[in-house]
A and B are shown apart, each in its own frame.
Chain A
Amino acid sequence: MAETTVKEKKSGLSFGKAERKLLTDPLNDNNPITVQVLGICSALAVTTLLNKAIVMAIAVVFVTAFANLITSLLRTYIPKQVRMIVQLVIIAFLVTVVELTLKAVSYPIYKELSVFIGLIITNCIVMGRLEAFAMANNAYKSFLDGLGNGFGYGIILIMIAAIREFFGKGSLLNFKIIGSGSEYLIDTNTSMLFGWYEPNVLMVLFPSAMFVIGVLIWIQRSWNKKLVDIS
């Protein structure tokens, strides 16, 4: 027992290669959305506007990181049979914190995200990482893993949202960039340059999220050959 505590202290809070891998692996090789296929639901539903996606990404990073941390601290006390319910209660607690904070800080965005903040509870990323990582590793590593997976999720979310908002509404972060109409924030000369584009309403509708994510997977896999599905 003493030996393991010493060991844990040694690997304590250092930031070496293994720790960096925990953070960077989920960004590409083990991305929660495009490789592990976790947390798709919210990725598709909140990506019509970039600012919604950013808020969602921050919320998920917070929840995955702290759920991993808390579960890892409690992992030796949780009986195996009831672990799912314990994990869900931890996640539900953190999500309630996020929900109430968001309600207080930015009510319009809270209204727009509606049920999808609550659905972070059932976001498989959180649950999957708790099961796969936090139940078997120490608190510091689990926290990093949670952060990494949150970022991996967030990066895809922001990419999809940027594509969908840009082509669907001709704007980014509600700032009009291309498209017809007189609501330009840039001067007329440049608007001549960008005015030809007619926003594609399909990109705002739900099937487009599927197409965008499918194409993203296609691009990622043709560039990262080891992810290709052989079966």
Chain B
Amino acid sequence: MELVNIFIKSAFIENLALAYFLGMCSYLAVSKTVKTAFGLGLAVIFVLGITMPINWIINTHLLGESGIFKTDLTFLRFILFIAVIASMVQLVEMVVEKFSPSLYNSLGIFLPLITVNCAILGGSLFMVSKEYNFSESVAFGLGGGFGWFLAIIAIAAIREKIKYSNVPPALRGLGMAFLLTGLMGLAFMSLMGIDPGSISN
């Protein structure tokens, strides 16, 4: 039950994209059509779900004082985390290229950009600061990825529709995307009313 709470909390209440602004670059760049947004969203769920437990293992068993080296190596955290993420993204890229060339072509440059998607590294850093254990970190990773997926699908759908509206020229495209994300953020804020603590009781 605790894990379900963490999943729901990280997907809706502490949504990585709409509450912490993580992964905004690719969020704004890839959200022009629902199809590509869907692919990127899935890739993010996958990468977050994999890197989170791996980074948890590295953080507790390699870097901590109770780890293998018995010394505090936390200053290496950034470099190791980003190396894990970069290699995982490389892996996802190869898998997608093999099994879905059309998706690979439509994602284009944005697949390598998942490496620099702050949602992935940010998720790992939040996991460290929140002191989750192993299974909690898996739930947090999957939940965070799912929340990000929902957010990008929603904005892509809205942007597809808004193409037909009469928006002032200077606001067209990017400016409108920002305002829409702000409104979506407001909507997601109302989900803060769900208290995961009260669900379990």
Which of B28, B29, B117, B174 has its CB near the most chain A CB atoms (within 10 A)?
B174
Report if A69 contacts B (CB, 8 A). no
A108-144 CB mask vs B (1 if < 8 Å, else 0) is 0000001100110111100100000000000000000
The interface residues of chain B lying within 8 Å CB-to-CB of A207 are 181-183, 185-186, 189
The interface residues of chain B lying within 8 Å CB-to-CB of A213 are 178
B170–A222 CB distance below 8 A: yes
Report if A177 contacts B (CB, 8 A). no
B21–A41 CB distance below 8 A: yes
A210–B185 CB distance below 8 A: yes
Report if B168 contacts A (CB, 8 A). yes
Indicate whether A119 sits within 8 Å of B176 (C-beta atoms), given known contacts A41-B22, A88-B83, A211-B182: no
B178–A115 CB distance below 8 A: no
B14-30 CB mask vs A (1 if < 8 Å, else 0) is 00001111111100110
Residue in B closest to A220 when the chains form the complex, CB atoms: B170
Q: Which of B125, B168, B173, B186 contacts A119 (CB 8 A)?
A: B125
Interface residues on B, range: 35 or more
The interface residues of chain A lying within 8 Å CB-to-CB of B69 are none
Among B40-48, B55-63, B98-106, B108-116, which stretch is in contact with chain A?
Answer: B108-116
State how many angstroms separate the Cβ of B139 from the closest Cβ of chain A. 19
The interface residues of chain A lying within 8 Å CB-to-CB of B181 are 207, 210
Q: Which of B24, B78, B173, B179 contacts A92 (CB 8 A)?
A: B78
The interface residues of chain B lying within 8 Å CB-to-CB of A92 are 78-79, 82
Among A4-12, A13-21, A93-101, A162-170, which stretch is in contact with chain B?
Answer: A93-101
A229 to B175, CA, bound (A): 9
Residue in B closest to A81 when the chains form the complex, CB atoms: B90
Indicate whether A115 sits within 8 Å of B21 (C-beta atoms), given known contacts A122-B118, A228-B172: no
B64-107 CB mask vs A (1 if < 8 Å, else 0) is 00000000000101110011001100000000000000000000
Report if B193 contacts A (CB, 8 A). no
A114–B173 CB distance below 8 A: no
A206–B185 CB distance below 8 A: yes
Report if B152 contacts A (CB, 8 A). no
State how many angstroms separate the Cβ of A203 from the closest Cβ of chain B. 12
B179–A88 CB distance below 8 A: no
Q: Which of B21, B83, B125, B182 contacts A40 (CB 8 A)?
A: B21
CB interface residues, B 108-141, toward A, < 8 Å: 112-113, 115-118, 120-122, 125-126, 129
Interface residues of A (CB under 8 A from B): 34, 37-42, 44-45, 84-85, 88-89, 92-93, 95-96, 99-100, 114-115, 118-119, 121-124, 127, 205-211, 213-215, 217-218, 221-222, 228-229, 231
Interface residues of B (CB under 8 A from A): 18-25, 28-29, 75, 77-79, 82-83, 86-87, 112-113, 115-118, 120-122, 125-126, 129, 168-179, 181-183, 185-186, 189
Known interface pairs A123-B118, A217-B174; 17 further A-B residue pairs with C-beta atoms within 8 A, sorted by A's residue number: A40-B21, A41-B24, A45-B20, A88-B86, A92-B82, A115-B126, A119-B22, A123-B116, A127-B116, A207-B182, A207-B183, A207-B186, A207-B189, A214-B182, A215-B179, A218-B168, A229-B173
